[in-house]
Amino acid sequence: MNNTKIERHIHKIEKDFALSYEAETERLLAKLQADFKSEADELKTKTLAKSKGEQKEIIATTKQALDFEEKSKGEALKALMIEEIYDDVFVRLHSLEGKELLDLVSGLIAKENLKGDHRILVRKSNLAKFSKVLSDKSNCDLLNAKFKDATFSLEVYDDAVEEGFIVEDKVFDLYFDFKALVEKHKEVHAFEIYQKLFGDK
């Protein structure tokens, strides 16, 4: 009978211990779950905040890139328009005839203040064009009429510039390559033309 009381008492202690252990375990589990949920919520909040920050940064960077690309395309288009202007100028120079071409040739030569006799050299493919413009009754008589101290004669020279002419001089030859003249003008005046057309737009 004493064994039974002792056994019951042991059994009661074991049961109390088990209940106490289960209660402690549940309390610990509940605390762990609460801590885990709190950490998870904090992590979620931080992740969302970081994600939103990164998203804003990505959007801002993308917007900057798109703005830069748009501005670059605009600048490229403007530069292309300037190129087209100069391409048109070259085409116009190439197609000049009659008095316009005579005025151009005489104007270019006049800037050099030449004296004496000179040959104007052109390619064979351009001889008829220049001869028709510079000459009427004799070789270069229309051009010579524009100068007091210099006379010119037109001749074929296979190594002459493709579009334009060379004035042969005793000291050095003067090359009037229309393409080079247009390029030189572009180097000096393209920015000024750009400003006039587009300003700070």
**pLDDT of 150-179, one tens digit each?**
999 999 998 888 899 999 988 888 999 999
Residues 12-23 have a mean pLDDT of 59
| Cα–Cα distance measured from residue 89 to residue 178, given in angstroms and rounded to the nearest whole number | 10
Q: Are residues 177 and 88 in the same domain?
A: no
Query: ∠ CA(70), CA(73), CA(78), 5° rounding?
Result: 125
Residues 85-90: contacts with CB within 8 Å, 24+ apart? 85/193, 86/182, 86/183, 86/185, 86/186, 86/190, 89/182, 89/185, 90/163, 90/178, 90/179, 90/182
> Does 118 have pLDDT greater than 90?
yes
- Cα 189 vs. chain centroid, distance in angstroms? 19
Identity of the amino acid at 151: T
Residues 64-69 have a mean pLDDT of 68
pLDDT given for residue 19 in this prediction: 57
Q: Are residues 109 and 172 in the same domain?
A: yes
- Number of folded domains that form the chain: 2
The phi and psi torsions of 122 (rounded to 5 degrees) equal -135, 160
Residues 174-196 have a mean pLDDT of 86
Q: Are residues 52 and 87 in the same domain?
A: yes
Q: Are residues 35 and 13 in the same domain?
A: yes
pLDDT given for residue 150 in this prediction: 92
Q: What is the pTM of this model?
A: 0.60
pLDDT in tens, 40-63: 677 777 777 777 777 777 777 777
The domain containing residue 76 runs over which residues? 1-95
Residues 112-140 have a mean pLDDT of 91
| Cα–Cα distance measured from residue 34 to residue 38, given in angstroms and rounded to the nearest whole number | 6
| Cα–Cα distance measured from residue 123 to residue 95, given in angstroms and rounded to the nearest whole number | 16
Query: ∠ CA(199), CA(200), CA(201), 5° rounding?
Result: 95
